[in-house]
Amino acid sequence: MTEFQELNHVDPPADLHHDDSIGVLQTSLSPKRMAAKRFVNHRAAFVSAIVLTMIIIFVVLSPITARYGINESIFKAEAGHPNQNLAPFNLAWFGTDSNGRDLYSRIIYGAQVSLMIGLFTAIGSVLLGTLVGGLAGYKGGWLDDILMRVTDIYLALPLLVVLVIVRGMLKNVDWVTAIMGDTSSVRFLVILLTVVGWMGVARLIRGQVKQLKEREFIEAARALGASSSRIMFRHLLPNSVGQIMVALTFAVVGAISAEATLSFFGFGPDAGSGMTSLGLLIRDSKKAVPPGYWWLVVFPGVFFIILSLCINFIGDGLRDAVDPKMQQEVK
């Protein structure tokens, strides 16, 4: 056995240079840690992650961070001393709306609802999309064919049209409304967005699984007698975690944008009892354009842009971290 032991000492440096994605060989970094390192090196993504965390803290701590209640006027309007449509000043940093409510506080409340819708929809879409996409990618066959055909057509149609038509369909089927609640409820909206949103995720995961399936380590597991479910849960899914995270991130932006679009056209959640969302705030700003109440237009809009920008950057950074191929090309 001496012969190969000798060779064994020669062999690490011999093709060390093949592994260009590694960096340092001595330190034992797990793939997870390496991805984390690449993410931190993506400056925009890192900054975005910090900003988003701050936004989330602000939104979660709304009892402390919001200055007024959700439906509360900044003060009681009196003759010659109105509280409506006031430009920003010390009592209302972002001004007040047509009901005399503090826009700053309402953006926090709105972000709460929007982020919740985004998160729940994203989780739902990712669960459903991973299941269907993973199955279609792994098993292939008719399931795969159908998935591809349906999503082809769906992706070709304008999102708003799909949302409006599916919304109308769900609304008119009695047993669906029994489960989903009224069309203006948040639950209905989350389910609607999930029903439409999972397809993009499914395509992404399908592609990833199809690619992984061809790798020899999957075949190795089969040769060891591993069951399909073991291959799915121990090999395919762990190796897709990165892609799933990326899909999740983009699903959140997709959902909050879709919520905003629907709200903008009056298909959003019900604003009764003062409840609001970023989409509803932006819809209200439409009315503020002609009289020139600029704060009602600028603050919700810019806040929304910052929020989606952060999530998009994070998604971009995650994608680079998970799939370093693009960066290597750059080198």
Partner 1 sequence: MLRFIVRRLLWAIPTLFIVTFVVYCALRLATNPLASYARANPRVAKDPEKMAQYVETNGLWPGFSGYVRGYFVWLKGFVTGNWQVSIKGSRPVWPNLKIALVNTIRLGLLAVMVSIPIGLSLGIFAALKPGRLRDTAVNTGAIIGFSVQPFISAIILQLFFGVQWAKWFGEPLLPTSGLYPPGHQGFDPVLMLKYMILPVIVVSIQSIASYSRYMRASLLDVLNSDYLRTARSKGISERRVLVKHALRNAMIPIVTLAALDIGAIVGGLIISEAVFDYPGMGVFFLNAQSNGDFPELMPWMVIITSSVILFNLLADLAYAWLDPRIRLD
Partner 2 sequence: MTAPVVEVANLTKEFTVKSSHGLRVIRRTVHAVSDVSLTVPSGKTVGLVGESGSGKTTVGRCILRLIEPTAGSVKFQGTELVGLPAKDLRKLRRSMQIVFQDPYASLDPKMTIGASIAEPLQIQKVEGNHQDRVAELLELVGLAPDHARRFPHEFSGGQRQRVGVARALALNPSFIVLDEPVSALDVSIQAGVVNLLQDLQEQLGLSYLFIAHDLSVVRHISDSVAVMYLGKVVEVGPAEELYSASAHPYTRALLSAVPQADPIVERERQRIMLQGEVPSPINPPSGCRFRTRCPMAQEICSVEEPALIDRGQGHPVACHFAEAVAVTLGSNVSA
Q: For residue 44, state whether it binds partner 2 (rule: CB under 8 A).
A: no
The binder of 16, among partner 2, partner 1, none, by C-beta within 5 to 8 A per type, is partner 2
Question: Vertex 188, ends 187 and 192: CA angle to 5°?
Answer: 120
Touching partner 2, residues 220-259 (CB under 8 A): 220-227, 230, 235, 238-239, 241
Instruction: Give least dist CB 186 to partner 1, A.
Output: 20
Let me know: does 113 contact 70? Beta carbons within 8 Å: no
- Which of residues 231 and 248 has its CB atom nearest to partner 1 in the complex? 248
Helix ranges restricted to H, 172-293? 174-180, 186-213, 216-223, 228-230, 237-264, 278-288
Which does residue 265 bind out of partner 2, partner 1, none, counting CB within 5 to 8 angstroms by kind?
partner 1
Q: Please name the residues in contact with 109: beta carbons below 8 A apart, sequence gap of 6 or more.
A: 62, 66, 70, 275, 276
Cβ 221 to partner 1 shortest distance, Å = 32
Chain residues 8-37 in contact with partner 2, contact rule CB under 8 A:
8, 10-16, 18-19, 21-22, 25, 28-31
CA distances, 18 to each of 9, 192, 216, 286 (Å)? 17, 48, 19, 58
Torsion of CA 207, 209, 215, 217, to 10 degrees: 170
Q: Work out whether 156 is an interface residue with partner 2 (CB under 8 A).
A: no
| CB distance 45 to 316 below 8 Å | yes
Give, as ranges, the residues between 200 and 219 that touch partner 2 (CB under 8 A). Answer: 215-217, 219
**Residues lying near partner 1 in the complex (CB under 8 A):** 44, 153, 156-158, 160-161, 164-169, 171-173, 253, 257, 260-261, 264-265, 282, 285-286, 289-292, 294, 297-298, 301, 304-305, 308-309, 312-313, 316, 326, 329-331
The Cα 292–Cα 272 span in angstroms is 26
Q: Which of partner 1, partner 2, none sits in contact with 82, Cβ below 5 to 8 A by type?
A: none
Q: Identify the three-state secondary structure at position 187.
A: helix
Give min distance, CB of 324 to partner 2, in A.
11
Q: Tell me the per-residue interface mask from 168 to 207 with partner 2, x by CB under 8 A, - otherwise.
A: ----------------------------------------
Is residue 275 within 8 Å of residue 69, measured between CB atoms? no
Residue 230: partners with Cβ closer than 8 Å, 6 or more residues away = 221
- Binds 289, which of partner 2, partner 1, none (CB < 5 to 8 A, cut-off by type)? partner 1
Q: How many angstroms separate the CA atoms of 151 and 248, rounded?
A: 18
